Amino acid sequence: MVQSHTHSFSMTAVPLLERQIAPASPAPFRTNDTPANTIAYLALIDELQNKMTALLSERDALLGTVQTLEHSVKEAARVQQDSMSVLPKVDGAKLGILYQPLDGVSGDAFEVKELGDGKVGIGLIDASDHGVPAALLTSSLLTALRIAQDILPTDDTKNSGDVLSAVQSQLAGMDMSECEFAAGLHAVYDTNTLTLSFARAGVPYPIRIAADGTVSALVSDGPIMGVIDDAGFEMKTVQLDSGETVVFATDGLEALLASDGVNEDAPERALAAWFEKRCDTPIDDLLSELRQRLRETARNTWHADDVTAISLHISG
């Protein structure tokens, strides 16, 4: 009885339910609609067209703004690079440079200048970030480095550590929440005695490549500027020989080479490990190799950063 009753319901009630819940099709626009309906449709179309026109205008305005910003960044990058010193000619030595900003303008900056009496000053500044805020900070700190460096030839009591202290004082007087710290280095090379005196503040240890291919790090203490108030920077002096090369670099170079399996437990060996494998290659070729690697390395495959390296080769 239950089965018969159920069968009877399915034959009569279900079609009725389907007809009751079937969705109604929207009424199409017809040319014989009432004038009120026609006006409403036309008003809706006009409103959509106005919105589309407004959106296109906003898009064009945004594109114009982006193009203006891109032009401004390119111009700022040109001015920044023009403000960097041209590498001087050094008696009995050759200088080389690798300078590669990440985003047009750079948080890295360098200064290489003849100081007189056969001495050459070498400076590096590396802000804790990159892009426009870092470039603004770096510009100010580089000015402080230049002013302090210019005192060295006239005051025998001053050295590279004092130059970095002046840079740190400039940093302490600034209020830039996006870039609170900076690394740096200053060195003086004497062409008469072939001695190199330097102090560092958080940048990688300079790399020394001996004439026989032996590679070592020039270790010295020096914290990142902006971390410790009134921090001191250890001075080191090394005697160089003909055929030797010293490489000064910012930590962007360490980041680029991190995938080569350097030992993070020994940071003073980070750059040395890479140069050891290429100790027989001229320094100009090594800088070219690094430059090519920067061009070929995808940005998302490393801790991308500005990269700067300065080489000093003693030719004799």
pLDDT tens readout for residues 37-93: 777 888 888 888 888 888 888 888 888 777 776 656 566 666 656 666 689 999 999
Mean pLDDT of 292-308: 92
Quickly state the pLDDT bin for 309 (edges 50, 70, 90): very high
The DSSP annotation for the chain comes to -HHHHHHHHHHHHHHHHHHHHPPPPPPPP-TTS-HHHHHHHHHHHHHHHHHHHHHHHHHHHHHHHHHHHHHHHHHHHHHHHHHSPPPPPBTTEEEEEEEE-SBSB-SEEEEEEEEETTEEEEEEEEESS-SHHHHHHHHHHHHHHHHHHTTGGG-TT--HHHHHHHHHHHHHT---TT---EEEEEEEEETTTTEEEEEEEBSPPPEEE-TTS-EEE-----PPBTTSTT-----EEEE--TT-EEEEE-HHHHHHHGGGT--TT-GGGHHHHHHHTTTTS-HHHHHHHHHHHHHHS-GGGTT---EEEEEEEE--
| Mean per-residue pLDDT, 152-157 | 94
Question: Six-digit token pair at 304?
Answer: 């991308």
- pLDDT tens digits, one per residue of 187-220: 999 999 999 999 999 999 999 999 999 999 999 9
Quick one: pLDDT band at residue 229, thresholds 50, 70, 90?
confident
When mean pLDDT is compared over 7-11, 95-99, 101-105, the highest value belongs to 95-99
pLDDT band at 118 (very low <50, low <70, confident <90, very high): very high
Give the per-residue pLDDT at 18: 45
pLDDT band of residue 104 (cuts 50, 70, 90) is confident
Q: Could you tell me the pTM of the whole model?
A: 0.76
Checking if the pLDDT of 112 tops 90, the result is yes
Identify the band that residue 114 occupies on the pLDDT scale cut at 50, 70 and 90.
very high
Mean pLDDT, to the nearest integer, of 154-171? 94
For the chain, which residues make up each domain, given as ranges?
24-83, 86-314
% of the chain at pLDDT higher than 70: 78
Query: Which CATH code for domain 86-314?
Result: 3.60.40.10
Question: Residue 179: which pLDDT band, with cuts at 50, 70 and 90?
Answer: low
Position 287 scores a pLDDT of: 96
pLDDT at 262: 57
pLDDT for residue 230: 78
Q: Which residues contact 236 (CB under 8 A, 6 or more apart)?
A: 197, 198, 199, 218, 219, 220
Sheet with 307-314, edge to edge strand ranges: 93-100, 307-314, 245-249, 207-209, 215-217
51-55, 118-122, 151-155, 257-261: lowest mean pLDDT where? 257-261
Cα(39)–Cα(36) distance, integer angstroms: 5
